């Protein structure tokens, strides 16, 4: 039940609610726990609530780190 | 799916695995505990253990809310559903956990109790609005990920003066459980933690800082995808090799040092610490769980229905307690896979897909057999 997913915000509704896209399925969720979410942002969705905003730049940096390690000499 | 698929990429997995093999010294064993059931699930589902050197062992932790809730608390919910005629709702897995006398919420439902599975606490609020003539009780479980939503629901119920809604609160705190693992008599036989993903989006990385400082154990917060877990294992190996113990954050795309302050403020408003709380496996731990503040007593099912949990022993054969402490493995349980299966669970660890026994049953048994015959 702790499973949570990164989802894209498709539409901001009134009352701290939004419509998100979950792999092609649209669903209404609550934004009551996070401020400043904008259209197109990715949020982590858990039991119907956005828990946090996902930072695309940090995501890319992490992926680069996975790949860049290849060249690193063994310590 | 974006931000999911990239973190499951096979080529990158082999790169990280190669780095792990280089980092793991041949002359020693490493034992890391993944605290979260979500990580346990990812490790089994994506076969991460198969990509690790045998000298790097993963120990499953107690971070599965369904698993750690003791029978006495589930009995309260079953009693409410059967004897007090409430409409009782909870997250899916919770309904299947066996309690006293092998009863579960699902069996109570079969006997006519009004038990409903909800995806979100918001759905429980909706039920209360639609059934003003019924008492609706939300059986709230979970670590710091499900707690803020419960706080929002209580505040909403208060604002709407929803007199027929209440919460049977079982929210528990991650750092308290990590502390319990590390302070076991004789110490914990682990070299570090893979730290929670989503819990950390809420509480931040700062609450883990005492563990390296006071126990000398590194903590690496990791996302829930398999590459995240592997990268965290690599970072832990490096810390151990270099004699460092720090909090590192692999899940920087969603976790900051201070976490989600808005969610924290909501929790602070609605909940207070319980002096102590019983956990399955870890015993009674001080300041390890939350209850509603007195100003929200009207929405507290324990106050409304005068409930008090009684400790109840687990099934004799069940090793969940030792598994949750990280001292035994699912395959050490005599009835694993025979009398106890996901279809017919005897203990809580066999219920949720995040439970060590269920994950091991679904994905790990065959790997074991291969290892045994190899
Ligand atoms: S296999 Fe079943 S009975 Fe054994 S420890 Fe796991 S949950 Fe408990």
How far is residue B291's CA from residue B310's CA, in Å, rounded to a whole number?
Answer: 17
Nearest CA to ligand 1 atom 6: B357
For the segment B49-84, what is each residue's pLDDT rounded down to a tens digit?
Answer: 999 999 999 999 999 999 999 999 999 999 999 999
State which of B66, B99, B316, B336 you would mutate to test the pocket of ligand 1, scoring each by most atoms of that ligand within 8 A of its C-beta: B336
- Chain A residues with CB under 8 Å of a chain B CB are 1-6, 8, 23, 30, 32-35, 42, 44, 46-49, 51-56, 58-59, 61-63, 65-67, 69-70, 72, 74-75
Contacts of B89 (CB under 8 A, 6+ apart): B115, B116, B117, B118, B123, B124, B127, B136, B137, B138, B139
How far is residue B157's CA from residue B137's CA, in Å, rounded to a whole number?
Answer: 12
Contacts with A63 from chain B: Cβ below 8 Å:
6-7, 12
Residue B91: closest C-alpha in chain A: A1
Contacts with A75 from chain B: Cβ below 8 Å:
23, 238, 241-242
Architecture of domain B34-63+184-261: 3-Layer(aba) Sandwich (3.40)
pLDDT of residue B374: 38
Q: Label the pairing between strands B87-90 and B136-142.
A: parallel
pLDDT of residue A42: 96
Task: Report how far apart, in Å, the C-alpha atoms of B318 and of each of B70, B280, B330, B331, B348 are.
Answer: 13, 11, 10, 11, 9
Residue B328 CA: nearest ligand 1 atom is: 5
Residue B19 has pLDDT above 90, yes or no: yes
Contacts with A18 from chain B: Cβ below 8 Å:
none
Contact B202 A51 (CB under 8 A): yes
pLDDT of residue A50: 96
pLDDT of residue B119: 92
Residue B175 has pLDDT above 80, yes or no: yes
Q: How many CB atoms are closer than 10 A to CB B127?
A: 18
Residue B359 CB–ligand 1 contact under 6 Å = no
pLDDT of residue B367: 59
Domain ranges of chain A: 5-72
* SS3 of residue A35 by DSSP: coil
pLDDT of residue B354: 84
Share of chain B above pLDDT 70, in %: 97
State the average pLDDT over residues B153-171. Answer: 97
A and B: number of Cβ contacts within 8 A: 138
Run of H or E including A46: strand A42-46
For the segment B315-367, what is each residue's pLDDT rounded down to a tens digit?
Answer: 889 999 889 888 899 999 999 999 999 999 999 999 988 899 999 998 876 55
Q: How many CB atoms are closer than 10 A to CB B224?
A: 23
Rounded to two decimals, the ipTM of the complex is: 0.90
* SS3 of residue B225 by DSSP: coil
pLDDT of residue B264: 98
Residue B372's pLDDT band, with cuts at 50, 70 and 90, is very low
For the segment B244-284, what is each residue's pLDDT rounded down to a tens digit?
Answer: 999 999 999 999 999 999 999 999 999 999 999 999 989 99
State the average pLDDT over residues B142-165. Answer: 97
Task: Report how far apart, in Å, the C-alpha atoms of B317 and of each of B61, B74, B105, B292, B334 are.
Answer: 20, 19, 22, 35, 7
Domain ranges of chain B: 34-63+184-261, 67-172+289-305, 320-363
Top-level CATH class of A5-72?
Answer: mainly beta
Contacts with A1 from chain B: Cβ below 8 Å:
65-66, 91-94, 142, 146, 352, 354
pLDDT of residue B366: 58
Instruction: Show pLDDT as tens, one digit a residue, over chain A (75 residues).
Output: 557 889 999 999 999 999 999 888 999 999 999 999 999 999 999 999 999 999 999 999 999 999 875 444 454
State the average pLDDT over residues B143-160. Answer: 97
Domain B67-172+289-305 indexed as CATH 3.40.50.970? no
Angle at B252 between CA A3 and CA B45, to 5 degrees: 35
For the segment B85-98, what is each residue's pLDDT rounded down to a tens digit?
Answer: 999 999 988 999 99
pLDDT of residue A8: 94
For the segment B300-317, what is each residue's pLDDT rounded down to a tens digit?
Answer: 999 999 999 888 988 889
CATH topology identical between B34-63+184-261 and B67-172+289-305: yes
């Amino acid at each position: 039940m702790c499973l949570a997913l990164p989802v894209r915000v498709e539409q901001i509704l009134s009352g701290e609610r939004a419509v998100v896209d979950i792999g092609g399925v649209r669903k209404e969720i609550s934004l009551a726990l996070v401020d400043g979410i904008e259209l197109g942002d990715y949020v982590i969705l858990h039991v119907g609530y956005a828990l946090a905003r996902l930072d695309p730049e940090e995501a890319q940096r992490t992926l680069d780190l996975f790949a860049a390690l290849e060249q690193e000499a063994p310590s | 799916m974006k931000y999911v698929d990239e973190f499951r990429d096979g080529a990158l997995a082999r790169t990280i695995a190669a780095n792990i093999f280089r980092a793991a010294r041949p002359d020693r064993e490493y034992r890391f505990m993944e605290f979260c059931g979500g990580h346990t699930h990812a490790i089994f589902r994506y076969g991460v253990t198969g990509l690790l050197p045998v000298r790097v062992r993963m120990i499953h932790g107690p971070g599965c809310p369904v698993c750690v809730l003791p029978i006495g608390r589930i009995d309260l919910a079953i009693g409410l559903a059967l004897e007090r005629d409430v409409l009782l709702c909870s997250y899916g897995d919770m309904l299947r956990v066996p309690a006293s006398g092998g009863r579960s919420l699902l069996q109570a439902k079969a006997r006519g109790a009004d038990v409903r599975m909800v995806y979100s606490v918001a759905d429980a609020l909706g039920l209360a609005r639609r059934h003003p003539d019924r008492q609706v009780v939300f059986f709230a479980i979970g670590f710091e990920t499900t707690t803020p939503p419960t706080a929002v629901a209580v505040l909403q119920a208060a604002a709407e003066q929803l007199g027929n809604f209440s919460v049977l609160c079982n929210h528990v705190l991650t750092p308290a459980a990590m502390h319990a693992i590390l302070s076991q008599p004789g110490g914990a036989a682990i070299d570090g933690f893979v730290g929670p993903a989503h819990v950390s989006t809420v509480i931040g990385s700062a609450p883990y800082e005492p563990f390296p400082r006071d126990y000398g154990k590194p903590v690496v917060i990791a996302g829930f995808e398999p590459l995240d877990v592997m990268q965290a294992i690599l970072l832990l190996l490096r810390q151990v090799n270099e004699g460092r113990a720090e909090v590192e954050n692999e899940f920087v795309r969603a976790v900051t040092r201070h976490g989600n302050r808005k969610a924290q403020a909501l929790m602070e408003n609605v909940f207070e610490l319980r002096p102590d709380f019983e956990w399955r496996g870890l015993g009674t731990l001080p300041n390890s769980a939350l209850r509603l503040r007195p100003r929200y007593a009207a929405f507290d099912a324990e106050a409304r229905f005068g409930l008090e949990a009684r400790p109840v022993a687990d099934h004799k054969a069940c090793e969940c307690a030792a598994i949750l402490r990280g001292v035994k493995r699912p395959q050490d349980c005599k009835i694993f896979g025979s009398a106890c299966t996901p279809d017919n669970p005897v203990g809580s660890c066999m219920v949720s897909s995040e439970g060590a026994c269920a994950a091991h049953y679904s994905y790990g048994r065959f790997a074991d057999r291969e290892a045994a015959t190899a």
